A and B are shown apart, each in its own frame.
Chain A
Amino acid sequence: MGWLLRHNWLWALLAFMLGAVITWFLLVRRGPAQAVAEQQTREAAEEKSEVLVGAGVAAAGTAAAAPTRHFEEPAEQLREEPVEAFDQTQHEAPPAADAGPVTEVDREETRAADPVPLPMPEPVENEPAQPNPTTAVQAKAVAAPVFSRRMDAEPTNAEPTLFDEPVADEVPAETDAVPPGRYGVGSAEAVPHQGPPDGFTIKGNVQSKLFHTPDSPYYGRTRAEVWFRTEADAERAGFTKYVRKPRKSASPGK
């Protein structure tokens, strides 16, 4: 095959350049055309608003007859807009479809909220009547799993019970058991197909160096590569918080 290339390298080079030029031309031509289209839609929208304002004053017939050409153009351009939006964001998260993140966050909230309303006070009320330690241990094992205590986050506020001390001892041991990730203390490596370690709610994207708090619209669809405990931890690791960029069309016109 080498001899073929040796004999025809000029033609191969020509085909290479032809392919590159055609592709580049097609890719570049789409960009400015869409910018122009966006400009036209913006202008058309302004004209339309003017027309609508005038329609209240002028006769309805003239107002309806005049802008027909302008209404056709934006309709045509608006059809192209989602394509551009997709192209711009195809390497990031896709633009906000509200259902995705909301359901994700909801699921997370329910998951976080589930263990909280466990019947904590019940063993407390039953406890003075049963000083027997074996029944107390059984009641603990059945009614109050260890993780429910950590969800409360304020064990000091609860009434002291017989089995508070061992639980309080376990909590720091388990939080310390989370090994620090590659960004030091406060970060944790994400394990595929697993949720975050307890207390780690902030998702970090290693490529973009952005982190998403649960408030972010892309929180649900962001796959965490590293988890952070607090925003300060994430910022210390060199990550920046995701903030929604202002939409282009809204900036100059209004």
Chain B
Amino acid sequence: MSWLIAQVWILLLAAFMVGSAAAWLLHRTLPARSKSVR
């Protein structure tokens, strides 16, 4: 049971990291596009 809970926590942590990486990549690409226009 505790292993199950640990797995769930790991899953949540991984999801959090993936989400933050996605947001970072999005934020990184958006200014780059506007910068290339400038």
Contact = CB atoms under 8 A, between A and B. Distances in A.
Interface string B1-34: 0000001100111111111111110110000100
B19 A23 contact: yes
Given A4-B8, A8-B8, A91-B32, A15 B23 contact: no
A18 B26 contact: no
Interface class of chain A by DSSP: helix
Interface in A1-25: 1, 4-5, 8, 11-13, 15-24
Interface of B: 7-8, 11-24, 26-27, 32, 35-36
A19 B19 contact: yes
Interface of A: 1, 4-5, 8, 11-13, 15-24, 27-28, 88, 91, 208
Given A15-B15, A28-B27, A91-B32, A20 B20 contact: yes
Contacts of B26: 24
A19 B17 contact: yes
Nearest to A21: B23
A20 B8 CA distance: 19
B24 A16 contact: no
Contact of B12 (A15, A24, A208): A15
